[in-house]
Amino acid sequence: MAALNNDEPPIPSSTVHQPDPTTTKNDKQNHRSLHFSDTFVISCGTVTIDLFTNQVLLIYSASLSMHLLPKGRKDINESLPSAALRETLEESGYAVQLLPNPLKTCAPDYVSGSRHTEPFAVQQRWDEKHGMHKVIFWFLATADSKGERKMDGGREEWEDFEARWVGLEDAEGVVAHKDDWVLVRRAVEAVRLIREMDGNGKGKVKYG
């Protein structure tokens, strides 16, 4: 085994390779990014839709004056779907359930048109406050907007969230971030496909 060279610089906690702006379209497969575990955090959230009232579940922060989609950081050794459901419960009080949907996914063994509960979107953000990358996995879910809230707790001290159900047609003008509306719009497309598959495009959707 070769001896360590003490004159060599220490290995950085994160090595990031930025794409060359002159790279051609054919070279995109060579773009890579490497981040070690102390430089990123995984978050999970849901776009939860009441299939019977055509409403989406949002959380309102009074301190930020913003409507947001429920999401939060994954706990150690927690699965992605479990984190999404738990965070939605903690932030909104609603025990939602994943909604099997036919949106195309690149997961192996996926059969076109079949339903699954894989993440329907992944998002990357730079967390300026904590100085790290945030990777967010989004899941499609459903719940009864008229149902009883299961809990009101389990939040961080700064989280002053209030659950609000908003009509799908009104969501674009309500959500704080454009990306959130794009996510809602994609979820609406999934619901449309589900209704078509169930043969009740204008009625209730079978789920559960």
**pLDDT digit string, tens, across residues 2-33:** 443 444 444 344 434 444 445 455 555 667 88
Which residue in the block uniquely carries the two structure tokens 């690149």?
106
Count Cβ atoms below 10 Å from residue 139 Cβ, excluding itself: 26
> Looking at per-residue confidence, does 46 or 63 come out higher?
46
CA dist 78 and 60 (Å) reads 26
Confidence of residue 130 (pLDDT cuts 50, 70, 90): confident
Which residue in the block uniquely carries the two structure tokens 């059969």?
111
pLDDT, tens digit, for every residue of 57-106? Answer: 999 998 889 999 999 999 999 999 999 999 999 999 999 999 999 999 99
| Closest to 140 (Cα-Cα) out of 123, 161, 118 | 118
Residue 1 clears pLDDT 90, i.e. is over it: no
- Return the pLDDT at 13: 40
pLDDT, tens digit, for every residue of 164-197? Answer: 999 998 998 999 999 999 999 999 999 999 999 9
Per-domain boundaries in the chain: 37-198
- Return the pLDDT at 141: 98
Pick the CATH number of 37-198 from 3.40.1360.10, 3.90.79.10, 2.170.150.70, 3.40.50.300: 3.90.79.10
> Of all residues in the chain, what percent carry a pLDDT higher than 90?
65
Structure tokens at 75: 């706990």
With the C-alpha atoms ordered 119, 67, 191, 50, is the resulting torsion angle positive or negative? positive
- Return the pLDDT at 27: 53
Coil, strand, or helix at residue 123? strand
| Closest to 155 (Cα-Cα) out of 163, 143, 165 | 163
Coil, strand, or helix at residue 37? coil
